[in-house]
Chain A
């Protein structure tokens, strides 16, 4: 019983930390757009 309580406590703590990070963190979003396009040789 004691072990189960510890496991639940550990999982809860981990979920809480993950939740905080999830809410507060900006996160890195992989590029969803873009790709290769024809190269322009005109000056920019």
Chain B
């Protein structure tokens, strides 16, 4: 716990003290050290929830249902934080908070799915039925991910900076920035793991 907190503090310090301002973006580039890890977690949480949902349907253990729901709750908070930070970055660099860029669409659909899942859970009173229907919904919604991640961004032109793992296989980033970003991603994953284990 303390190690995770210290690691996070280290990352925050690195973001403000070590990372150089980026060419063309200046100090705004520091937003991505918050934006990318939260977006990363919202996707990880989505798959974690689907994994526990599948496990629940196989074994019918209530603890799997609780883990699946917990992953969604963490994912929901992360997807909101990621959307807000992304919109601020978008306003400061492209001049508008929102323009239904393919990546904005993807993240918005994630918000809709997370929201629908939580609404469904809130609407079902019986514990076993709730576990069953939410597991089925979680697995059904995970089917849309390949479409949202691989097909949709190719259908429309996007202003979003190229993701780290892009089709050309190259990484266009300053080494210090890349190292801090990767460390931030590792830290976010560690925080997620801690929250899931609580």
A binds B: no
Residues of B within 8 A of A (CB): none
